Amino acid sequence: MAKGKYIQVGVTAMRDPKTGDFLPAIPLYVKAEDVGEDAEKPMLEDFAKLMALRMKQYKTGCKAAGVAI
């Protein structure tokens, strides 16, 4: 990994194509930038709104398809 400060934001795992089981999880990192709290709060709020919209679309799509979630 390149020099600098990185923040772990999650993990991901691929699936084995033969069995469908999860392979070992791999951490996901983003490079930390020197951003003040004034800039950070609006970004977090925008991200939260986007995720809420995506979840609403997902739930609506599942309901329309008759899929229980």
Q: Are residues 5 and 26 in the same domain?
A: yes
For the stretch 22-59, pLDDT in tens is: 999 999 999 887 666 677 788 889 999 999 999 999 99
Do residue 47 and residue 27 come from a single domain?
no
Residues 10 and 24 in one domain: yes
* Entry pTM: 0.45
Q: Which domain holds residue 18?
A: 1-33
3-state secondary structure of 42: helix
- The total of structural domains in the chain comes to 2
28 and 18 part of one domain: yes
pLDDT at 21 over 70: yes
Q: How confident is the model at residue 17 (pLDDT cuts 50, 70, 90)?
A: very high
pLDDT, position 39:
76
**What's the helix, strand, coil split of the chain in %, to 5?**
40, 20, 35
